[in-house]
Amino acid sequence: MQTNYNLKSFNTFGIAAIAAHYAAIHHPDELPQLLSQVDKATPRLILGGGSNLLLPDNYPGLVIHNCIQFIESKEVADNEVIVRAGGGVNWHQLVLWSLQQGYGGLENMALIPGTVGAAPIQNIGAYGREIKDVFVELEAQELETEAQHTFFLEDCQFGYRDSIFKQAANRHRYLITSVSFRLSRHHHSLYTHYGDIQEQLKKWGIHSPTPQDVAAAVIEIRRSKLPDWRIYGNAGSFFKNPVISLEHFQKLQNQFPNIPSYPADNHQVKVPAGWLIDQSGWKGQRRGAVGCYERQALVIVNHGGATAKEILAFSTLIREDVQEKYGIELEREVNAIL
């Protein structure tokens, strides 16, 4: 365990956050010994890839870095295989590994930053697919009791960029040690419905795509739209796409005929947050070291030296502007440690 540890290289926003205590965990068995070294009242923060996290300038507790690394697979049927990966495995590396083995199911989520252990917390997803679509179970250790738990699909309460692990009572309560996914060996139903994927495949002249083709298209699209966090510190989409009532949407549609939308559950409508922010004039805007990315309004970037408070203040200005213009309250997708 190390003290007064700088976490700048462990978060994609590039915040020079100082942790009072820091330790990397490479095996679940290491956790009890680590926890015995700190007072039970010491706050604990579990760190994965740091890609969906806004750290404070100073964290007064123990940062536990999940570095549990392994990938294994088991065939369960002619067309199905269960892939189990350690919580510290890089997510994109798992996607590439599964494609190399000929397994389909994760291709739409290629190049999403972060780790396997963080993926179910956020119920990560892209281009029509989410973790819940291929999820089998996860194993986790409870920090308070050191008990081991298994969570199945229904236990996780997955929602849009949401899960039971994001509830206030469960945040940083569990260290997710492994996650298992059900993938396929024969690929009859690829998800290429999103226009961007279709356009990219058409551009390449691919009419009968493989999972590898879909992943390549997703990677190309993401690289063209999102900034490299090593150049511009960021955490990807800063806000969730808001879901509003059909009545609210129809009123907005009368006022803004070009407003895009997607159907949501319970006769509701999902509106792209990026469009709302862009139309409010924030794309490319900058306040000091913080700005809105010039190619994608949904991404807030650290141009260098920004603090967590400055990033939050900038995001608040955007939220207030969108609220005033559209009557929609944007919700942060990024997990801000306040």
- Does residue 110 contact residue 97 with C-beta atoms inside 8 Å? no
Residue 101: the pLDDT is: 95
- Note whether 320 and 276 are within 8 A (CB): no
E strand map for 26-122 = 44-47, 53-54, 58-66, 71-77, 80-86
Q: 247 in helix, strand or coil?
A: helix
Spatial contact of 193 and 110, defined as CB atoms under 8 Å apart:
no
pLDDT tens per residue across span 229-251 = 989 999 999 999 999 999 999 99
User: How do the domains of the chain map onto residue ranges?
Assistant: 2-66, 71-184, 233-336
Question: What pLDDT sits at residue 169?
Answer: 87
Q: Please identify which residue in the block is written with the tokens 């990397």.
A: 24
Give the global pTM. 0.89
Amino acid 251: pLDDT: 96
| pLDDT < 50: residue spans in the chain | none
Q: Is 233-336 CATH 3.90.78.10? A: yes
Give the domain 71-184 fold: 3.30.465
Q: Which residues are catalytic?
A: 161, 237, 333
What pLDDT is attached to residue 225? Answer: 85
| pLDDT value, residue 95 | 98
Please tell me whether residue 218 adopts helix, strand or coil conformation. helix
Q: Report how far residue 289's alpha carbon sits from residue 310's, in angstroms, rounded to the nearest whole number.
A: 8
Fold classification of 2-66 (topology level): 3.30.43
